[in-house]
Amino acid sequence: MSDAGVALSLSGVSKRFGGLVAVDGVTIDFASRRLNAIIGPNGAGKTTLFNLISGEIPADAGRMRFRDSDILGLAPHEVVRRGISRTLQIKSVFGGLTVTDNVRCAVLVHERVMAPLRPVSSFRAAAARADALIDEVGLSAHRHRLASTLSYGDVALLELALALAAEPRLLLLDEPVCGMGPQETERTVDKIREISRRVDVILIEHDMEVVFDIADFIMVMAQGAILATGAASEIAAHPKVQEAYLGSPEDD
C-alpha cells in the first residue's frame, strides 16, 4: 500500500506500565478512505493505543507515521496541528457555554484568533465556520442551548463538532455511542458514516452491532497485541476472536 493510501502507519508500537505490557509491538497500516475500527475486551490496550497516537502518553518503542512525518513523541497540541483530532469516551465540553460558544471557542483556538488586536472580520469568519459545523453535526436546533442541558447523544455530537473544528485529516473516536439509546446511536452512526466520506476515521467501540454495521476494516486487540484483522464477516467468524471477545461455544 502506498503512503498516499495510508491514513496512519504503526510499526512496533509498544507501551509498558511497570510489569504490565499495555501495547505490545503493534504494527499495522490503517488505510485511507476506509472506516477503521478497533475492538477488543476491556484491558486489551485500545484506549492506551489512542493515547499513544494522540501524544497523551509517550511510547516506549516503535514508529508512528501520519502522512509524510513521524509523529511519535509529539505533544498533543502538535499532533492536532498535524491533522489528528480525537474525541473521548468520557465526554468533555463546557457545560456553562452554549453549543454555539463551545464550537466557536474551538474554531478560534484552531485558527489562533485570540488576540484582541485581530480584525473583527477574523471573528466573523470563525463564527460562520462554527455555525457550519453545528449544522453539519445536526445540532442546529440546539445552537443556543447550554451544553449542560443537552442529551447524552447531543453532547456526543457537540464533541464531534469540537473535534472537527481543528480541520482534521484523521479523526479518532473513542466509544462514540457509549451510553446512548437506539435512536441516538442510529443518529450518531449516520453522522460518523457521513463524516468518514471526507475525513479518515478510526474508532474504538464496544457495541459490536455498530462496529459490524459501520466498519470497513476491523482490528481486534487482546492483551495489548493484534489478535486479528479483516472485514466484519471475517472477524465475526474468526475462532480466536470468538474465544477472546465474542465468546466461545463452551461459554454458553
Are 80 and 158 found together in one domain? Answer: no
Are 95 and 153 found together in one domain? Answer: yes
Are 76 and 136 found together in one domain? Answer: no
Are 128 and 109 found together in one domain? Answer: yes
Domain boundary among 112, 134, 168: 168
Q: What is the pLDDT of residue 2?
A: 43
Q: Which domain holds residue 103?
A: 91-168
65: nearest Cα among 75, 57, 73: 73
Q: What is the pLDDT of residue 47?
A: 94
Domain assignment present for 112: yes
Question: Per the structure, how many domains does the chain have?
Answer: 2
Give per-10-residue mean pLDDT for the chain (252 aa). 76 96 97 94 93 96 92 93 85 86 88 58 79 93 94 90 93 90 90 93 92 95 95 90 65 44
Domain assignment present for 73: yes
d(CA 241, CA 222): 9
Are 98 and 142 found together in one domain? Answer: yes
Q: Are strands 84-87 and 200-204 parallel, antiparallel or unpaired?
A: unpaired
Domain assignment present for 106: yes
d(CA 202, CA 86): 10
Are 223 and 244 found together in one domain? Answer: yes
**Cell reading at 239:** 475462532
Domain assignment present for 64: yes
Please name the helix (run of DSSP H) or strand (run of DSSP E) that holds residue 23, with its range, or none. Answer: strand 20-31
d(CA 250, CA 247): 8
